[in-house]
């Protein structure tokens, strides 16, 4: 089996089956290496197989295919969304705890204010929308944009008033939770 070495603090091309960390002066322990892997790849505890040739090596496990016809579409709960927001679970958390959802917002629809314990990535796939971090001005996003929220960062996202928006949301569960939902975004907050 071939492994590609990835110096700490850098992301290189790594094989789909393994990642090796070699800079022992910068990654002092297995625990530190696990933490780096969690930050780089969203993979958490339990996937490290051990030391090989002086490197911590992790194997990502078996391949899984989630068929499109198996995606369950559900209406978002009114306490978490304004408007008819539809969610499709594309990848359920499983052992890694990484959840991937496709979320569709009609015009004016949006999330409530919320945070994610380990952060969130949004891949805007169609339409136009807004994202806003607490205490800052809302920002416009369009298809092709990628948004990353840090762990614990209070924010909301949704469609513009005149366009639907769809995104793929990626987040990792911590202690079984991917989000902490807060108050709904008011019309005044939404209006910017």
Determine the average pLDDT of the residues in 151-168: 98
Same domain, 78 and 149: yes
Whether 41 and 79 share a structural domain? no
Measured between alpha carbons, how far is 17 from 137 in angstroms, rounded to an integer?
Answer: 41
Query: What average pLDDT does the structure give for the chain?
Result: 78
Contacts of 45 (CB under 8 A, 6+ apart): 34
**Which position has the higher pLDDT, 129 or 12?**
129
Residue 82 and residue 53 share a domain: no
Same domain, 29 and 93: no
- Torsions phi, psi of 137, nearest 5? -70, 150
One domain for residues 156 and 85: yes
pLDDT reported for residue 168: 98
- 74 and 58 in a common domain: no
Domain span at 92: 68-190
Residue percentage of the chain with pLDDT more than 70: 68
What is the rounded distance in angstroms from the CA atom of residue 166 to the CA atom of residue 182?
A: 22
Domain boundary among 12, 38, 63: 63
More confident of the two residues 156 and 15: 156
Q: How much is the pLDDT for 192?
A: 67
CA-to-CA distance for 192 and 179, rounded, in angstroms?
24
The answer on 51 and 86 residing in a single domain is no
The whole-number average pLDDT for the span 111-138 is 98
Residues 157/171, Cβ–Cβ less than 8 Å: no
Same domain for 91 and 23, yes or no, is: no
Each residue of 42-86: pLDDT tens digit?
544 444 444 444 444 455 567 888 887 777 899 999 999 999 999
Residue that is last in its domain, among 34, 63, 92:
63
Task: Tell me: do 53 and 85 sit in the same domain.
Answer: no
Q: Kindly state whether residues 58 and 72 are assigned to the same domain.
A: no
């Amino acid at each position: 089996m071939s492994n590609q070495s990835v110096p700490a603090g850098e992301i290189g091309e790594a094989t789909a089956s393994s990642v090796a960390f070699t800079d022992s002066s910068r990654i002092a322990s297995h625990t530190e290496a696990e933490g780096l892997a969690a930050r780089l790849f969203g993979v958490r505890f339990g996937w490290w197989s051990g030391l090989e040739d002086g490197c911590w090596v992790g194997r990502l496990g078996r391949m899984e295919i989630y068929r499109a016809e198996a995606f369950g579409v559900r209406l978002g709960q009114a306490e978490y969304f304004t408007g008819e927001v539809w969610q499709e679970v594309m990848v359920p958390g499983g052992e890694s705890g990484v959840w991937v959802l496709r979320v569709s917002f009609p015009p004016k629809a949006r999330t409530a204010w919320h945070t994610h314990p380990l952060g969130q990535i949004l891949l805007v796939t169609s339409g136009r929308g807004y994202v806003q971090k607490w205490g800052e001005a809302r920002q416009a996003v369009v298809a092709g944009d990628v948004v990353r929220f840090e762990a614990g960062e209070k924010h909301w996202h949704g469609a513009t008033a005149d366009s639907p928006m769809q995104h793929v949301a990626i987040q990792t569960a911590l202690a079984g939770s991917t989000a902490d939902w807060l108050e709904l975004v008011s019309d005044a907050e939404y209006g910017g």
